[in-house]
Structure 1
Amino acid sequence: MTFIFAHRGSAGTHPENTMEAFIAAEKDGADGIELDVQLTVDGEVVVIHDLTVDRTTNGSGYVNELTFSELSKLKANYHSLHYFKKSCRIPSLREVFEWLEGNNLLCNIELKNAVNPYKGMEEMVIALVREFCLEKRVIISSFNHNSLVLCREIEPAIVTAPLYNEVLYKPWDYAMSLGASGIHPKLKSISDQEIQDAIACGVAVRPYTVNKEKDMKKLFAINCSAIITDYPGRAYRLREQYQ
């Protein structure tokens, strides 16, 4: 079965990377959620995509220069295309993990450390994974592939997957050289044949961001390992036709 990961939660219908988006993803039938993490100036692992809060909140400034208390006061749906009377917050990773205790969803954590290295992020994230006993439900991905190697050194049981957005030669071989068991390519950077070759070599393929129905149908038809989508509800309904 092709698993469905909700990109930043159900980001196509709810404010991205908020608890509201994650809760909606579960209701929509997603098998897992995908989220992004960074560190605050006071060392809290927080769930937000951009280096700054400007695009998604009513605040401004860099995430790593703000405290968690300051971030918590911002409206995370301020610029959202989706109308919400309720104010949404930037959650901590701990808060998401506490919610995961009440369901069986998988969680793909993207470390946003390709530009800001965030020293100690790997240890902090894995410590939280261990605290909540989520080793078998978490996938760690990043565009910083050195970081993924470090994650495996810290916790060999952790599942890792490099993110990439350009064409790679035999990406499954590259993934295995990192100790990774999956790859997260931009959809346009991998062919159907390469997806099947990777899976045949034991490397899971979870392309992003799959929002068009024709792409979902194609990937379901070839039994791609998973898709990462802003519209988990749409994907769930289409998957019923194939699996």
Structure 2
Amino acid sequence: MSNTLKNNSPEIIGHRGAAGLVFENTLAGFQKAFELRLSLIELDVWKTIDGESVVFHDALLDRLTPAKGLIAEQTVAELQQIKLNNGDPIPTLKEVIALAKDYPVTLIVEVKAENAFAKTLELLEAELPYSRFVLGSFYHQPIIQLKKAKPELRTAIMFEGVPVDFDEYLAKVNPEFVVASKDTANAYLAETVKLQNRKLLFYTVNSEPEYTMLLKYAPFGIISDFPDLFLKS
């Protein structure tokens, strides 16, 4: 059974778990998204100074925790002493993978820094089949290199504005998924992705008018903080 409003609707993808329902990028938030029976969940990964992959969105700790500073300059032990503003711990990627294993869900893992690609992929490959995850980023050069080295790896490129000569660029980067801002939506973008048999996702879609507006572009999916708004009752 589809998890969306009607049979031809896009996939509904939980943003940072289900960030509008439960604090973002937490184990509780991912658990909520899994309980909603979403097929895909998006999350963010940084590498700590001692080489661990942790799930967190911002470069700085300031917005989401009482602490300050760059998350990439902390050790795992230091981060374990810091709680998120809702009192939850900052999860590691290993913890999220362990939780996800019990559910039929695919993880869209956004890598937030170029130095985090290798460790992130290592962990994902060790624990999940390629069918259960997508490696994505706003950093496209590592995506190009990894896709050439591992053709079986599914990748996603993320951007806020459509690159110049987008059709040629898209063929060069060769991702399975194109993740674009809802504000970037236009016919050229949608048609180019469709012609190359790739999957178009829009972020971050949090209202029914936004959702309805984007339907004309026939995206594969939409990424939302409030996935429950678009699910079948």
How high is the TM-score relative to the length of structure 1?
A: 0.85
Distance in 1 between residues matched to 2:166 and 2:28, nearest whole Å: 35
Name the aligned partner's letter for residue 91 of structure 1. Answer: P
- Residue equivalent to 1:18: 26
Of residues 197, 200, 214, the one that matches 2:209 is 214
Distance in 1 between residues matched to 2:210 and 2:222, nearest whole Å: 10
Distance in 1 between residues matched to 2:166 and 2:182, nearest whole Å: 13
Residue 203 of structure 2: SS of its match in structure 1?
coil
Matched, 1:36 2:31: no
- Residue equivalent to 1:90: 90
Distance in 2 between residues matched to 1:160 and 1:172, nearest whole Å: 17
CA drift of 1:222 comes to 5.2
- Residue equivalent to 1:84: none
- Residue equivalent to 2:5: none
CA RMSD of aligned residues (A): 1.9
CA drift of 1:197 comes to 4.4
- Residue equivalent to 2:117: 122
Residues 34-91 of structure 1, C-alpha deviations (whole Å, 9 max, x = no match): 1111011110000011111111012222112111121122221x1x6xxxxxx31111
Matches within 5 A, 1:1-243: 1=8, 2-76=10-84, 78=85, 87-113=87-113, 117-118=114-115, 121-168=116-163, 171-192=166-187, 194-220=189-215, 223-237=218-232
**Runs of at least 5 residues in structure 2 that lack an aligned partner in the other structure:** 1-7
Distance in 2 between residues matched to 1:153 and 1:90, nearest whole Å: 33
User: Are the equivalent residues in 2 in contact too, given 1:123–1:154 (CA < 8 A)?
Assistant: no
Residues 109-154 of structure 1, C-alpha deviations (whole Å, 9 max, x = no match): 11112xxx32xx2221111121113311211111111121122134
Residue 185 of structure 1: SS of its match in structure 2?
strand
CA drift of 1:207 comes to 1.0
Q: 1:74–1:202: structure 2 CA closer, same or farther, 3 Å change rule?
A: same
Identity of aligned residues (%): 27
Distance in 2 between residues matched to 1:226 and 1:25, nearest whole Å: 15
**Runs of at least 5 residues in structure 1 that lack an aligned partner in the other structure:** 81-86
The total of aligned residue pairs comes to 225
User: Are the equivalent residues in 2 in contact too, given 1:187–1:210 (CA < 8 A)?
Assistant: yes
User: Are the equivalent residues in 2 in contact too, given 1:199–1:225 (CA < 8 A)?
Assistant: no
User: Are the equivalent residues in 1 in contact too, given 2:107–2:133 (CA < 8 A)?
Assistant: yes
Residues 148-202 of structure 1, C-alpha deviations (whole Å, 9 max, x = no match): 1122134221111211111345645422211212211111112156324422430
Distance in 2 between residues matched to 1:181 and 1:68, nearest whole Å: 32
User: Are the equivalent residues in 2 in contact too, given 1:171–1:198 (CA < 8 A)?
Assistant: no
How high is the TM-score relative to the length of structure 2?
A: 0.88
Q: Which moved more, 1:176-185 or 1:147-156?
A: 147-156
User: Are the equivalent residues in 1 in contact too, given 2:144–2:172 (CA < 8 A)?
Assistant: no
Q: Which moved more, 1:34-43 or 1:134-143?
A: 134-143
Residues 197-220 of structure 1, C-alpha deviations (whole Å, 9 max, x = no match): 422430110111111211223444
